[in-house]
Amino acid sequence: MRRRLLLRVAASDLAGLVAALAVGSAWTFGTPALWNADVPPGQSAMPLTGLLVGGFFLGTFLTGRAWIKGPPRPAYGRALSIAGFMLGVTSLGIVFARVYWSRSLLVITTVVWIVLALAMRALYRQQAWADSLVVVTDESALVSRLQEAPHAAVLARVSPKTVDAVDEIPQDATLVVDLRAVLSDRMAQFVSSCNLAGVPVRTLGDVYEEHTGRFPIVHLAEGWELSVPVQRAAGYEPLKRLLDVVAVVVMAPIAIVLSAVAWVLVRVDAGQPVLFRQRRVGRNGEPFIVYKFRTMQIDAEAEGPRFAVERDDRVTRIGRFLRKSRIDELPQLWNILRGDLSLVGPRPEQEAFVAAFAEKIPFYMHRHLVRPGLTGWSQVNYGYGGAEDTEDKLAYDLYYAKHMSIWLDAQIIGKTIWTVVSGSGAR
């Protein structure tokens, strides 16, 4: 079913591009056949068409990589990303290859394709889609989480210790096996038979991460099971650092203007100090000073540090606006330049909270295997919860640490932009 969905979306996108090219050609040249387009002598519209098609296939391939760690679904953002690749590749081709181009053809083709792609995705999203799963495990909590996932249909849960005959796996279903469990001889034989018969057999950890976006902490025994994948992804760190610096430089003009306005608003509304400084725990447990525009009263933590809550009475009038718009976090761009933070990563916590959580929650310190971030996988999926939500947020943070990549970072940044625009999740 997964493969069929992938192929169906790709095929509809390609058909939409063919239709969009025909519309663009008809509008620009009076004929839907680009090879008959009336262009200057010695010129042809076909190289331009090739660039658009090439950009489409490149965008489809690269954005498809973002689906690897999650259940595929017709995403609107992916359609816009593909359109961006189409225009980017075409623009580069026009500049360097000096091919014939038409502004009207480019604009109309792109707009029509986006409309068709979004419409087809809206149609596909109306149809139910789910992975059919038969799960071999005694971990009822993990199975419950899977059942809550929108694209996972748990048909049955079977005990790994069963000695009775097991029903045949339904067609198109996947057998999911808990590798931490000790299988009975009967169950081990059944799993082997399914594998030999061509039934898809996957591990519970992989399926759980894919459908929930969370790391199954109960599957950690020693800790190296998580640290090893993080070390293998270390090759992405230099590129991630470079992208952080470039992003800050690009955002600097707008950030400076907004920061100046925020500085005046905070100064008038709440007085001095305008900036809030606090020690947080960074990568490998190293402390650093984080900077924000002050959004709370000066004595907000006179009785000790505590999490912000809904309608927190410690927040100032202008502070509510700054928090909702995330403008209060603009000074942390300086932390990114310094290397204390990355654009994307687990949010850094106060030292007091880290010490308390590390004592109560197993493997909590493993979230510090990667550089903390201005936004993160936990924030876009769970929001800014309180102390009681820490273990749930940790499952998302560890998932990010294990799967950190440019594709996941791009997805998080896209979701963060939507969160800022919609104003959701602020406290």
pLDDT in tens, 112-146: 999 999 999 888 877 767 888 999 999 999 999 99
Rounded Cα gap, residues 373 and 388, in angstroms: 21
**374-392 CB burial, b ≥16 within 10 A, e <16:** bbbbbbbbbebeeeeebee
What is the CB neighbour count within 10 angstroms for residue 33? 12
- CATH classification number, 131-212, choose in 3.40.50, 3.30.390, 3.10.150, 3.30.70: 3.40.50
pLDDT in tens, 46-73: 888 889 999 999 888 877 765 555 666 6
- Helices 237-270 and 406-422 cross at an angle (nearest 10°) of 20
Where does the pLDDT of residue 160 fall: very low under 50, low under 70, confident under 90, or very high at 90 and above? very high
What is the CB neighbour count within 10 angstroms for residue 417? 13
Q: What is the DSSP string of 295-352?
A: -B-TTTTTT------TT-TTB-HHHHHHHHHTGGGTTHHHHHHHTS-EEESPPP-BHH
In this predicted structure, the answer to whether residue 23 has a pLDDT above a threshold of 80 is: yes
Q: Which residues are CB-neighbours of 315 under 8 A, at least 6 positions away?
A: 295, 296, 308, 323
Listed in order, the ranges of the chain carrying CATH 3.40.50 are 131-212
pTM score over 0.85? no
Coil, strand or helix at 290:
strand
In a 13 Å sphere around the CA of 227, the CA atoms on its Cβ side amount to 11
pLDDT of residue 386: 62
| Among 299, 417, 414, residue whose Cα is nearest residue 63 | 414
Neighbour-count burial of 143, counting CB atoms closer than 10 A to its CB (0-12 exposed, 13-18 middle, 19+ buried): buried
Does a cis peptide bond (omega within 30 degrees of 0) precede residue 150?
Answer: no
pLDDT of residue 395: 92
pLDDT in tens, 398-418: 999 988 988 888 888 888 887
pLDDT in tens, 304-352: 665 665 566 677 888 888 888 888 999 999 999 999 999 999 999 999 8
Rounded Cα gap, residues 105 and 22, in angstroms: 10
Quick one: three-class SS letters along 151-169? CEEEEEEECCCCCCCCCCC
